[in-house]
Amino acid sequence: MALPRLATREQLVAVLRKAGVRDERVLEAIRRVPREAFIPERLRPWACDNIALPIGDQQTISQPYVVACMIEALHLAGTEHVLEIGTGSGYGAAVAAEMAGDVVTIEILASLAKAAAPRLKELAPNVTVIQGDGSLGWPEFAPYDAIIITANSPTLPRPVLRQLTNHGRLVAPIGSLKEQQLVVVERSETRFTTRDLGPVRFVPLIGAGGFQLLDPARRN
């Protein structure tokens, strides 16, 4: 039987730095957020490995490198109002919350939203968890200085882009169920500028603006 991995957060930070994460504030946020608190107990020995892990409901906590790259691409200064679409375990929201003013995070699956809410209340009190379909954004609390979509969207969703402030940034995986690119979009007064950050693999964004995959009964 393979021995459990017992990497530390400090080792994870070293791995991310070597992999190309440059922003020291992002690395510090990764150092501070206890990833082990966001995963099932049986998987805790792997909490500080740079890998995605299952969190139930066929969903995953993202690979720390991907979380770091996405947050780095947003250029957060510490005061921003952030929207995250796809709470999952809540880990990404907690890391973003270390570097922003506040984070509103939307999760479509009730079981995951329910599990993430108390965890985030304790570990990242500037995060608000909402259960619902975030595929068209969350206009109630718009505009946002930064938006993170943590599930693969079939297109760059216009209604979500319109919820960005001027000079706001959005980061999202965009593509088909087979191939996706991580994309960062910056809004200016007159246009949206898009840049590719490379290929990635995410679970699909479902709901009105996403892929039509989920039995609606599973949302509640």
At residue 133's C-alpha, the angle toward residues 130 and 137, to 5°, is: 85
Specify the residue, 109 or 127, whose C-beta has the smaller distance to ligand SAM. 109
| Cβ(95)–Cβ(13) below 8 Å | no
Specify the residue, 175 or 210, whose C-beta has the smaller distance to ligand SAM. 210
DSSP3 helix / strand / coil % (the chain, rounded to 5): 35, 30, 40
C-alpha–C-alpha distance, residues 52 and 88, integer Å:
12
Instruction: Select the span of 2-10, 128-136, 157-165, 189-197 touching ligand SAM (CB under 6 A).
Output: 128-136
Tracing tokens 């479902």 back to the chain, one arrives at: 206
Contact status: 151 vs ligand SAM (CB under 6 A): yes
Out of 65, 138, 144, 202, point to the residue binding ligand SAM (CB under 6 A).
Answer: 202
Number of residues that bind ligand SAM (CB under 6 A): 26
Binding track over 18-57 against ligand SAM, x by CB under 6 A: ----------------------------------------
Listed in sequence order, the residues at least 6 apart from 82 whose beta carbon sits closer than 8 Å to its beta carbon are 74, 76, 96, 97, 100, 101, 102, 103, 104, 144, 145, 146, 147, 148
C-alpha–C-alpha distance, residues 124 and 122, integer Å:
6
Instruction: Select the span of 23-31, 74-82, 176-184, 198-206 touching ligand SAM (CB under 6 A).
Output: 198-206
Out of 49, 80, 98, 133, point to the residue binding ligand SAM (CB under 6 A).
Answer: 133
111 is catalytic: no
Out of 27, 60, 180, 182, point to the residue binding ligand SAM (CB under 6 A).
Answer: 60
Secondary structure (DSSP) of 9-26: HHHHHHHHHHHT---HHH
Cβ burial of 170 (10 Å; 0-12, 13-18, 19+) is buried
- Shortest distance (Å) from residue 108 CB to ligand SAM: 4
Instruction: Select the span of 11-19, 74-82, 137-145, 200-208 touching ligand SAM (CB under 6 A).
Output: 200-208
Kindly list the residues in this chain that would bind ligand SAM in the complex (CB under 6 A).
59-62, 85-86, 88-89, 91-92, 106-109, 112, 133-135, 150-151, 202-203, 205-207, 210
